Amino acid sequence: MEIKLQQNILAANDKIAVDLAKIFKDKGIYVINLMASPGAGKTSFILHTIEALKNKLSVAVIEGDIASKVDAEKVREHGVSTIQINTGGACHLDANMIRGALNFLNLDETDLIIIENVGNLVCPVEFDLGETVKVVILSVPEGDDKPLKYPRIFADSQVLIVNKMDLLDYTDFNVDGLKRTVNNLNPGINIFEISCKSADGIDNWISWLKDKTDKFLKLK
């Protein structure tokens, strides 16, 4: 019975996600589903992305947290539309939550939506949000073994951000070993090594993202 219930929940979610994907495509909006453990640097990564693109694209952010609005307030200070979703205990965002959040955004004037999912490496990847791309962040202090422990999120994501590279010399994190593991799970994944503290590597990510969003802007 539990398996059937889970299947029913995912099926209902996927149906809404298909509708969301059509809306995003029709509006020419590129949507990032950003996933990571707590403390990996999701919000800092979003702020760097906003600062690099806010004069070129109309950016909106949907913040997902179990409680509080701390991250949303940080993002809102950077002058972009920001919607807070508090899940009240749920360990992920789902498509219905995103559908509700869209009522508070002007989609006709939005080019890029960044969804900061609830912080963990398990639940969020199971729920499609109609996004264009799934992006997972792994920080150096977490260790290079996380793809072995939580393979699905690395297998299903199109982009891996390895954050906090400035701490590499203080750990035994094996970047080459991580890449081998992730590429075995997902040969087509794009990997960017960055430091949100120093901003090293951010330009490579922004260049990749700008190329992708440019194609979506042509749909407007």
171: left (phi over 0), alpha (psi -120 to 50) or beta: beta
Mean pLDDT for the stretch of residues 26-38: 97
Query: How confident is the prediction for the chain on average, in pLDDT?
Result: 93
> In the structure, what pLDDT confidence band is assigned to residue 75 with cuts at 50, 70 and 90?
confident
Single-letter amino acid code for the residue at 121 = L
CA distances from residue 112 to 7, 27, 210 in whole angstroms, order as listed: 31, 10, 10
pTM for this one? 0.94
Looking at 7-11, 51-55, 143-147, 202-206, which range is the least confident one?
A: 7-11
Closest CA to 117 of 153, 65, 47: 65
Task: Give the whole-angstrom CA distance, residue 193 versus residue 70.
Answer: 26
% of residues, the chain, pLDDT over 70: 96
What CATH number is attached to the domain comprising 58? 3.40.50.300
What per-residue confidence (pLDDT) applies to 220? 67
> 66 versus 80: which is more confidently predicted?
80
**Does position 34 have pLDDT exceeding 80, yes or no?**
yes
Domain enclosing residue 68, as ranges: 2-217
The tens digit of pLDDT for each residue in 139-192 reads: 999 999 999 999 999 999 999 999 999 999 999 999 999 999 999 999 999 999
Domain count, the chain: 1
**Mean local confidence (pLDDT), 36-54:** 96
Q: Residue 3: its pLDDT value, please? A: 43
Show Cβ contacts of residue 78 under 8 Å, excluding neighbours closer than 6 positions: 47, 50, 51, 54
What is residue 46's predicted lDDT score, i.e. its pLDDT?
A: 98
Q: How many whole angstroms separate alpha carbon 64 and alpha carbon 32?
A: 13
